[in-house]
Structure 1
Amino acid sequence: MGSFFDFNHPFFRPLWRRIAVVGVCATWGAFEIWMGATGWGVLFLGLAALCFWGLFIRFNPRTQGEEGDKDRR
């Protein structure tokens, strides 16, 4: 069974999308903390950290023809 977040999905292959996902989560977390909603801020900053780990540290994009691409027929 796969993980809940599939960071190796071909959607995340372009670098700008990976940067955008992490940046939006981190920015939203900082905004929530600045507005006084500490719980939401910590949640989104944690999500940004998880996305950074999955999209930059452990990132290994699938190539065409591997599993998962057969569903796109």
Structure 2
Amino acid sequence: MNQNNSHSFLDPLWRRIALVGFCAAWSLYEWTNGEAFWGTLTAGMAAYGAWSYLMNYEPSNKGPDKTGE
């Protein structure tokens, strides 16, 4: 995938952790309710989010504190 996943909204680490945590919690909810398809789908979303937003995230260059002034 050749996409730019950086966005100024996701620059704070806590937002990226919350996003991945939400997907993981949703997956756990679906699995405990016996919904294997939705549990697998949301687990894949959490795994991709962890890889993309926690391991390989590069902060955006937008915003007043990122300009170098």
Give the count of matched residue pairs.
62
User: Percent identity between the aligned chains?
Assistant: 40
| Greater relative CO (CA pairs within 8 A, separation 6+) | 2
Cα deviation 1:19-67 (Å, max 9, x = unaligned): 11000000000110100000000000000000000111110012138xx
Q: Which residue does 1:47 correspond to in 2? A: 45
**TM superposition score normalised by structure 1:** 0.77
**Gapped regions of structure 2 (runs ≥ 5):** 64-69
Deviations 1:3-33, CA, capped at 9 Å, x for gaps = 3xx5311110011100110000000001101
TM-score by length of 2: 0.81
Cα RMSD (Å): 1.6
